[in-house]
Structure 1
Amino acid sequence: MKNKHLTLLMIVLWSVFSCAQQNKDINATNVVEYMAAKVKTYDKHPMYAIRPLQNNCIFEILVNDVLLYDEYSLEKAGTPIEINDNILKSGKQTLTYRLYPIGDLMVQEYGKGDTVTTLKKNTSMSLKIIRYDDFKTGRGLSDEIVIAEHTSPVKKGTREFIGAGLPYYEHTITFNAEVPYENEGWTNGQDLSKFDEEELEAVVKKRNLQIGELYQNKELDSLVRIEHVNGLMYAQANYRTKDKLQRIYDQYKEDVLKDKELQPMEGYQMEFYGENRIVMLRYSVIAPPYPWSQGQPALYYTFKDEYGTLADFLSISLYLPKGKALTPENLQIL
């Protein structure tokens, strides 16, 4: 049931179309025109990306403490992973990778081996952070400028991974970025870790269920207008053209209007990101309730197509603007 490509698509869709929150005149008919008119143009369009290469582990990558990419299979990324979504403005940025044991992936993939519960001596993560000076004029290998490189550390005097024997390892590096835009993003959010945990989780779950009901009922106009202060930042950070926005919207509309069945939210955990300003409900990476739910968002629905029953996971990242009371309606979607 797990479908990473659909998960990533839903992140983009929520990001692009939820900025029309305060304008009740925005609807499914004119949202593309609205967004295209709001995206600024620049002399150059710098884009940052990463090339991760893992060995004997699964992993997650966060940029500026916000989850950006995950890989819970043995597959290795073949193309660069763009990270401008998480770069709010020029200056110092952080990149964090989290490494986890491969579990029973060898058994699943090759029918041999044991379940691995700790990181191994030969576990490693190598990263290149690259920049394209102008995203719109060149994205080939010859246009890549490596601005930072990193390889996971080893124990002194050996080639053994420093985190060998651990069930989890995390490491953070910094790099500098220069972009022509400046977005507020989640920086105006409250520290959610200061709220009562049970109260916060209840409110966050209710907000997720509200969104899920809109999908269940195919309420396209309501979804287009859903409250979200910073939705425009993703379109701006990725220099979206009107044609690109239209293609994204066409897929978005198709997903909203298809028949679907919202699934119960249970067995998840609450996680904080963005220096505790962002909250998500997700299934555990280490001990998910079902194999297909590993690391996935807790809100999802199932649908049927020619391939059988599939699932769309709705990645809902929420933050509470400063000065706002903790209610489902005040939680904003990133």
Structure 2
Amino acid sequence: MPQYFIEAHQSGCFYEIWINGILGYAHYQNVGMANNAIPINENILKSGFQEVTIKLFPLGEIDGKEYTTLTERTRFTLEIFKRDKATPWEGLDYDVVHNYFAPTTTGEEAGPFAHANEPMYEETFTFNAEVPYELIGWSNSQVIEGQDDIEQEVLNFYKEYADVIQNQDEEKWAKTVKNREQELFKSVYYNDKSNEDLKKRIAYFTNTFDNEFIEKMPLDKYEITFSANGKITTLKSLDYPGESAFSFKENRNRSNGERDKYIASHYIFLHKPNGNDKLEIIR
């Protein structure tokens, strides 16, 4: 039961990590050096070479100073590792499968960043993964980038999806997310119904449909993006960098037993399977 992770370390920049065309993690907090290990099996469709794209961005305004470009002090490294999900996690019980650091002028990790004074930096590389499953995902999907009226189709989908949540139409919601959830069930939880993380995921969705108050939120000012060679699209927020442009307001249970209103933001990655003219959620 191999489980793959990416752990990134950064300083002096914000970043995004895309795995096979899906945004795996976005870091837009000015907290100095930071690292996060993120599981990525859901974006690995089958064994073989996997594509990782990193995007580095300047920090913007800090203490009254505006950073519009990356600097020589920009640092970014990541490590891809795997572990056996079937065994307990004990200390450093994992295997490193790939190391990466953003290019420097010296060719050494600690050297000055090689792309200083640029407004962003993007690089793509591959690594090899071995998994005991195969997913269809977006492998047989249409290229939707450039299709007539595709942006309006995306906006219509978001509106309909928001209506499903607000109207508590659980049956329609289940049909809408069925393919995504089935592939996560297979690739992340290995069809293990006793998995505690899976139980938490089910509890989260159940809580959404058990809430007595859910309110649609208007889309943020957005940027429509295409990835996976034009097969996948999503709306990124321009108001809140790193977040989805889609959100809704719901009640949530707090640890003290009280309830409060909470704005939930979720990325929705859409595609069109071959032979289908309608957008569907794939991640």
Please indicate, yes or no, whether the TM-score normalized by the shorter chain is above 0.5.
yes
Residue equivalent to 1:56: 12
Residue of structure 2 equivalent to 1:7: none
Letter in 1 for 2:201: I
Tell me if the contact between 1:67 and 1:273 (Cα under 8 Å) persists in the aligned partners.
no
Paired AA for residue 231 in structure 2: R
Q: Distance in 2 between matches of 1:150 and 1:135?
A: 24
Q: Distance in 2 between matches of 1:226 and 1:115?
A: 43
Superposed CA offset, 1:159-185 (max 9, x none): 321221111111112111111001111
Structure 2 residue aligned with 1:302: 249
Measure how far apart 1:137 and its partner are.
Answer: 0.3
Report the CA distance between 1:142 and its aligned residue.
2.6
Residues 164, 173 of structure 2: 8 Å contact kept: yes
Structure 2: how far apart are the matches of 1:137 and 1:181? 19
Q: Does 1:256 align with 2:203?
A: no
* Structure possessing the higher relative contact order (Cα contacts under 8 Å, 6 or more residues apart): 1
Gap runs ≥5 in structure 2: 253-257
Give yes or no for contact 1:53–1:126 (8 Å, CA) kept in 2: yes
Counterparts in 2 of 1:157 and 1:295: CA distance versus 1, 3 Å: closer
1:108-155, CA deviations, whole angstroms, 9 ceiling, x for partnerless residues? xxxx351211111110111111111x1120333331111111111112
Deviation at 1:251, TM superposition (A): 1.6
- 2:78–2:101 Cα contact (<8 Å) kept: yes
Indicate the residue corresponding to 1:270 in structure 2. Answer: 224
The verdict on how the C-alpha distance between 1:140 and 1:211 changes in structure 2, with shifts beyond 3 A counting, is same
Q: Which residue of 2 aligns with 1:20?
A: none
Q: CA RMSD in A?
A: 2.1
CA contact (8 A) 1:63 1:86 kept: yes
Alignment-mate amino acid for residue 181 of structure 2: G
* Structure 1 residue 300, shift from structure 2 partner: 1.0
Matches within 5 A, 1:236-247: 236-238=186-188, 239-243=190-194, 244=196, 245-247=198-200
Contact 1:51-1:77 at 8 Å conserved across structures: no
State how 1:87-236 maps to structure 2 within 5 Å: 87-104=44-61, 106=62, 112-132=63-83, 134-156=84-106, 159-196=111-148, 199-226=149-176, 228-236=178-186
Pair 1:312 & 2:264 matched: yes
Shift of 1:309: 4.6
Count of aligned positions:
270
Identify the match of residue 71 of structure 1 among 3, 13, 27: 27
Displacement of 1:307 in angstroms is 8.1
Could you state the TM-score of these two structures normalised by the residue count of structure 1?
0.75
Between Structure 1 and Structure 2, the one with more strand by share is: 2
CA contact (8 A) 1:94 1:174 kept: yes
Q: Distance in 1 between matches of 2:204 and 2:178?
A: 20
What 5-or-longer segments of structure 1 have no aligned partner?
A: 1-44, 107-111
Give the CA deviation at 1:269: 1.5
In structure 2, relative to structure 1, the CA distance for the partners of 1:309 and 1:167 (3 Å cut) is: farther
- AA paired with 1:92? F
Asked if 2 retains the 8 angstrom alpha-carbon contact of 1:48 and 1:82, the reply is yes
Instruction: State the secondary structure of the residue aligned to 2:154.
Output: helix
By how many angstroms is 1:81 displaced? Answer: 1.3
Regions of 4+ moved over 4 Å? 75-79, 304-309
User: Partners in 1 of 2:228 and 2:259 — Cα distance?
Assistant: 37
* TM-score scaled by length of structure 2: 0.88
Query: Amino acid of the residue matched to residue 300 of structure 1?
Result: S
The offset of 1:303, in angstroms, is: 3.5
Instruction: Provide, for residues 76-132 of structure 1, a one-character-per-residue CA deviation record: whole Å limited to 9, x for no partner.
Output: 55552111111111111111111111112x4xxxxx351211111110111111111
Q: Does the 8 Å CA contact 1:207/1:331 hold for their aligned counterparts?
A: yes
Matched residue type, 1:280: T
